Amino acid sequence: MNKCRIEAGSVPGIETPSGKDVAYENFPVGSWLLSSELRPHVAMFYRFARTIDDIADNPNLSAAVKLERLEGFEAAILGRKMNTPEYSIGSEMRRSLLTTRVTLQHTLDLIDAFKQDAVKSRYANWSELMAYCDRSAAPVGRYLLDLHGESKVGYGPSDALCNVLQVINHLQDCQEDYRQINRVYLPRDWLGEVGARIEDLDAFKTSPKLRYVFDRCLDGLGPLMLEAQKLPLILKNRRLVMEVSAIVSIAERLISVIRYRDPLSSRLQLNKLDYIWQSLRGITVVLLGVGRP
């Protein structure tokens, strides 16, 4: 999510840091490309999002405890727990949003999505999955656009890009999500069509039936990528344009990697050289003033 990784976990009893950092995340949101004035706020947003996401993904917490803690952060965002140390990150996030005049809604949408993660572990179809992504991923892009004073016209392409990134992460982490928290984001109707079993995710190699479902998910990203590619062309902030263009290139490359390699054999991610190359490729498009390749 963010280059400016700040460790969460000041109060171990509430926060449950996973140890995930930018090496685990694929996308340089909040990198040096953004202005130094805004980076601390982006870092705060990432810290908050990482904190509540880790709570929802903790295999050692019951659904009831997860919901209680997430509701605590919701109360902090709404200003109801301003002097509660356990939820200080929520209070800090609220102050950042008020300072930058960005709506509280993006953080509330994230909390709502992670509440869903606490109680829902299967998705019936692609539409249901996209509805989840609209709250678990799209708010990140909308926050960045609002922070930079961009028009809400960019929400559509931004939502598409963020939802692409979310599904990519789902495919990368499909085996770990199943094994550790028994959560599966693959559409059940697509699994059923070819007779693929959820238990197939526990194998060391992807079965042909499961491969069909992976590929169908990637096919579903095609229209979203076409929409996402419009985003750099309609943004005004040049630094944000370069950031977004780099992310689009990284997403394109990752889709190709997942298409031709096995997500169950190892977690598919770009190596450092490929990551840098794709970032530079996207940035170069902006610097040369040309359209998408």
Residue type, 111: I
Determine the CATH number of domain 39-287: 1.10.600.10
pLDDT of 116 > 50? The answer is: yes
Distance (Å, whole) CA 15 – CA 73: 10
- Give the span between the Cα atoms of 110 and 108, in whole angstroms: 5
Higher pLDDT, 234 or 287: 234
Domain ranges of the chain: 39-287
For residue 292, pLDDT over 50 is answered with no
Whole-model pTM?
A: 0.87
CA distances from 21 to 36, 51, 93, 167, 279 (A): 20, 12, 19, 19, 18
The CA-to-CA distance between both ends of the chain, in Å, stands at 25
| Percent of the chain whose pLDDT exceeds 90 | 73
Mean pLDDT of the chain: 88
Nearest to 118 by CA among 181, 162, 169, 166: 181
Give residue-wise pLDDT tens across range 86-115.
999 999 999 999 999 999 999 999 999 999
Count helices and strands (H / E) in the chain: 13, 0
Instruction: Assess whether pLDDT exceeds 60 at residue 192.
Output: yes
Q: Rounded distance, CA 200 to CA 212, Å?
A: 12
Residue 173 CB-half CA count within 13 A: 18
Task: Determine contact, residues 44/93, Cβ cutoff 8 Å.
Answer: yes
